[in-house]
Amino acid sequence: MAEYPDEWKIKAIDGRFAWLDDHAGGWQFGETGFLKAICDRIGVDQAVEIGAGDGTDALPLTLGFLYDRGVPTVLFEKDEASRTALKERYPLADVRGEWSLVKPPADNISAGSCVVIDVDSVDYHIAWSLSCKYLNGTCPKVICVEHYDLCGPDADGIGLPPRWLMGKQLAEGGFRIQAKLSDIAEMMSQNYYKLIGCSRVNSVYVRLGQVDALEGC
């Protein structure tokens, strides 16, 4: 994407993980390179994108590097035209429709997976539905969650928006209502995940038990 201010780029939130900053790069604000370095270090066996877009150069997969390595890839996308484009560009991927919070297909998500959630609305609730399975050992190793744009109006917010309100368009600047970073980080911490880094619009979490492997360079 076009050049952007350095403060928008994903950065590690703890000195123990500062080496990851050197790997940040690519889509969206460096998340692809940041996640690649994490996956290389701890190892993952599945790539999952929820809200995958169309996979074009203008809206590429965040985890395309895993697909290119032959890692099994599952792509959830609501828009039919975008699904068609995904199937053409990534013929070996398992392309599916919209992720359902009513009956999430969590049984098809590997405990060794890296998951990216970018649906511009109920990202918080999808992250919860995956991370809450920590105690039975079936939750992903890595989860990247989109949060309310830190450059948006009233970015600090006044609490977690009700689910029905998430995804609503704001009048100013094309922003959509989403859970803010602090709400997502708190929820993920309660579900045994460690916040590793965050950018203007995304935060990356690693399951406890994997975190020590990320310390140092």
Residue 6 domain-assigned?
no
Task: Read off the pLDDT of each residue in 97-122 and give the average, rounded to a whole number.
Answer: 87
Spell out the SS3 assignment of 37-71.
HHHHHHCCCEEEEECCCCCCCCCCCCCHHHHHCCC
> What is the rounded CA–CA span in Å between residue 81 and residue 136?
37
Q: What is the mean pLDDT of the chain?
A: 91
Total domains in the fold of the chain: 1
For residue 4, what pLDDT is reported?
Answer: 81
pTM of the shown model: 0.94
Examine residue 88 and state whether it is found in any structural domain, yes or no.
yes
Among the listed residues 34, 42, 119, 115, the one whose alpha carbon sits nearest the alpha carbon of residue 74: 115
DSSP calls for 160-212: PPPGGGTTPBPSSTT-B----HHHHHHHHHHTTEEEEEE-SSEEEEEETTTGG
Return d(Cα 40, Cα 158) in angstroms, integer: 37
Tokens at residue 135, please? 């105690």
pLDDT of residue 204: 98
In a domain, 12, yes or no: no
Residue 129 lies in a domain: yes
Residue 135 lies in a domain: yes
**Predicted confidence (pLDDT) at residue 155 exceeds the cutoff of 70:** no
Residue 64 is part of which domain span?
Answer: 18-214
| Predicted pLDDT of residue 60 | 92
For residue range 22-65, what is the model confidence (pLDDT) as tens digits?
999 998 999 999 999 999 999 999 999 999 999 888 889 999 99
**Mean of the pLDDT values across residues 117-145?**
89
Whether the pLDDT of residue 140 is over 70: the answer is yes
Domain membership flag for residue 7: no
Does the residue 189 lie in any domain?
yes
Spatial CA neighbour of 201 closest among 8, 65, 5: 8
On whether residue 1 sits in a domain, the answer given is no
C-alpha 5/C-alpha 143 separation (Å) is 25
> Which of helix, strand or coil describes residue 129?
helix
Closest CA to 200 of 166, 156, 160, 150: 150
**N-to-C CA span, the chain:** 28
Looking at residue 206, which CATH number applies to its domain?
Answer: 3.40.50.150
Q: Is the pLDDT of residue 2 over 60?
A: no
